[in-house]
Amino acid sequence: MKKTFEGKVALVTGAGSGIGQAAAFAYAVNGAKVIVSDIKDNDTVAKIVADGGEAYFVKTDVSKAEECEQLVKKTIEKYGKIDIAFNNAGILGETNNLAEMSNDGFEKVIAVNLNGVFYCMKYEISAMLKQGSGVIVNTASILGTVGFSAFSGYVAAKHGVVGLTQTAALEYSSKGIRINCVAPGFINTPLLSTLNVKSKEELSLKHPIGRLGEAKEVASLVIWLSSEEASYATGGYYPIDGGYLTS
């Protein structure tokens, strides 16, 4: 039986860990050739290849426009096209109430979590327009629609990702490019490594389902949005949050 993404090329940023790594594995298992991109060296390509898949690492700092341009260029050089892009790289950044937030801390999280998505989409969409097709999924957050104390930079960046997603969908959905974002609740990944057990327990209680999410649970939604099964889905904001936004 033909696999969902057989013959497709999928690019994933922040693919060295957490949600991005889970999505990279899922694309590969479903037959895609995967461009694994991250600012850090990691074992994602080795694991995909060991499992019989196809993947290639392109080191990229998404906060730098020229590196995002190179990422798309190298994807085309390596695999000839870019069918799917999962713009997922992100950091938690400085946590402080707004008046105590350093300017550098605010600017850093905006640079990675918001500018990074803009730069990646800009170059991906240019390539996809030439092909006449493409799918983009961005990682927003539940904090793309609500606030959270001590996270002003992160919250501002994720609200921005939602706006970028909606605007790009308006501009390019009629040109064969579907663009959506996922909005995870708190997910058990290294992003939360600075939180102690008590904080994680308190966070779990904010999710009606009673626990934090797992990276592969988010990846399942990303895979669906990337597939032909989601052919009518564009411009959407898709919470996957154990019910967080309902409370």
Q: Assess whether 154 carries a catalytic annotation.
A: yes
What would the x/- binding string for ligand NAD be over residues 192 to 231, using CB under 6 A? x----------------------x----------------
Say if residues 91 and 113 touch (Cβ distance below 8 Å). yes
Residue 239 touching ligand NAD (CB under 6 A): no
Quickly count: other Cβ atoms within 10 Å of residue 4's Cβ.
Answer: 18
Using the rule CB under 6 A, is 16 a contact of ligand NAD? Answer: yes
How many CA within 13 A on the CB side of residue 220?
8
Contact status: 11 vs ligand NAD (CB under 6 A): no
Tokens at 109, concatenated: 């999280």
Find the binder of ligand NAD among 26, 45, 90, 225 (CB under 6 A): 90
Cβ closest to ligand NAD, residue 141 vs residue 234: 141
Q: Return d(Cα 62, Cα 173) in angstroms, integer.
A: 24
Do 224 and 238 form a contact (C-beta atoms < 8 A)? no
- The span from the CA of 10 to the CA of 35, in Å, is 6
Q: Measured on CA atoms in the order 9, 15, 16, 17, is the torsion positive or negative?
A: negative
Catalytic residue among 27, 119, 123, 154: 154
**Residue 123: CA atoms inside 13 Å, Cβ hemisphere, count?**
22
Q: Which of residues 136-165 bind ligand NAD (CB under 6 A)?
A: 139, 141
Contact stretch for ligand NAD (CB under 6 A) within 38-46, 77-85, 97-105, 126-134: 38-46
State in angstroms the smallest separation of the CB of 199 from ligand NAD. 12
Query: Contact with ligand NAD (CB under 6 A): which of 30, 56, 57, 61?
Result: 61
Residues 6+ apart with CB under 8 A from 174: none
Phi, psi (degrees; rounded to nearest 5) at 82: -140, 105
Q: Single out the segment in contact with ligand NAD by CB under 6 A; choices: 2-10, 46-54, 181-189, 222-230.
A: 181-189
The tokens for 69 are: 């341009």
- Would you count residue 190 as binding ligand NAD (CB under 6 A)? yes
Contact predicate 124/88, CB 8 Å: no
Q: How far is the CB of 17 from ligand NAD (least distance, A)?
A: 3
Least gap, CB of 2 to ligand NAD (angstroms): 29
Does 84 bind ligand NAD (CB under 6 A)? Our answer is no
Binding interface with ligand NAD (CB under 6 A): 13-14, 16-20, 38-40, 60-63, 88-91, 112-113, 139, 141, 184, 186-187, 189-192, 215
